[in-house]
Amino acid sequence: MEKFLIGTSNHNSFGSYHPSFHLFRLEFSCNLSELNFIIYLCIRNIEKTYSNIQHLAFNNDSPNTGNNKIQPQATIVFMIMEQIFNKEQQEKAQFILNHPLARLSDLRSNEIKDLAVVWCYYSGKIEGNTYTYVETEALLKDDITSEKKYEDAKMLKNLYNTFISELEYINKGKNQEVIDERTLFRVHQAISTGLVSDEESGYLRTRGVRISGTAYIPPKNLHDIRAKLNEILYQQEQYTNPLERAVYLHCNIAKLQPFIDGNKRTSRMVESIALMNADIIPVYSSKDADILNYRKGLIAFYETGDYSFYAGYFLDKQVERIKEIE
C-alpha cells in the first residue's frame, strides 16, 4: 500500500505555496491500480463545488506587492507521500524513538559539550575540514587554534555556536524550533558568516553551483529555487515520524543547494534541529568510513531521489550509538 495526498493548494505568481489558502485535503492509502479511479472521483466532486471554493479563496486577503494584487490560483495537487523508510527501517526508527538512550534531555552538561564537539568535527570533516578531532576539541573547548587555515577554524566555530544556540533554545528552554524559511536563512547566516560575502550569507543564491562527485546539477533560476524550497518546507509537515522528517529535510535541502555555499552544513543542522525538537540526539560520527557512507548516501539521493541509502546510514548510526552504550 502507498500513501497519497490529494488536495488543492494555491500558488502566487512567484510559485510559492500558501498553506493559509489550502482549501481541500484528503490523505489515504491504496494500491497504485486503484489510484486513477480515486483521482477521477475526486476531480468530479471538486468540479461540482469549485466555483464556490474559488469564490471563497478570492475573498481571502491576498499578498500585496505595491499596487499589484497577487491573486491566488487554486490548483489540484496529486502528491505521492513518499514512504522514506522501508519496513526494516521503520522497525529501526521505532526502536530509536522508544529507547531512553536516544533522549537528548537525559544528557548531562558535560555530555552536551562533548556532543557539540563531535558533531562539529563530523560536519566539518564531511566538508574537508583539516582539523583533527583533538584539534577540534582544543579549539571549541579551550579556544586553542591550530596552525591551519583560518577558514577551517571559522567553519568549526560557526558550527559550534549555531549548534549550541539551537540546543539551548530547544533542550534547555523546552521550546520547539519552527523549521521555516526564516529559521533556514538564520541558520545559514550563522554557519556561513565570515566564509561567504554578507550579501550571500542567509540569502538564496542568484547564480549556479555545481556539486563535486556527481553529474546532478541543482536548479539555477532563483524563481525555481524559491518555489522548490517553499515546497520542501511545506511538505515536511506530512511526515509525523521525526526521523523521517529529519531525513526528508536533510536530503532535499542538500539537493536543492539553495545557498551559494554551506548547503550541506545547513541541511545537517536542520536535520539535527528536527531531531532535537523530538528530544532525539542528532546523528554524528568520527569514523572516516562513516563520512564516506554519508557522501555515498547523499549522492545516491541527488541522482535517483532514492532515500534508502542515506536513511539506512542515518538509522544505523543511531542504533550503533545506542548499542555501544548499552
Beta 24-30 vs 2-11: how paired, if at all? antiparallel
68 known ligand binder: no
3-state secondary structure of 177: coil
255 known ligand binder: no
Contacts of 130 (CB under 8 A, 6+ apart): 148, 149, 152
3-state secondary structure of 212: coil
Contacts of 83 (CB under 8 A, 6+ apart): 2, 3
Phi, psi of 198 (to 5 degrees): -60, -30
Phi, psi of 205 (to 5 degrees): -75, 155
207 known ligand binder: no
205 known ligand binder: no
224 known ligand binder: no
Phi, psi of 27 (to 5 degrees): -115, 135
266 known ligand binder: yes
What is the spatial distance between Cα 39 and Cα 45, in angstroms, rounded to a whole number?
A: 10
Which amino acid makes up residue 224? Answer: D
279 known ligand binder: no
The answer to whether the CB of 60 falls within 8 A of the CB of 20 is yes
261 known ligand binder: yes
Binding-site residues, in ranges, read: 261-268
Binding-site residues for ATP, in ranges, read: 261-268
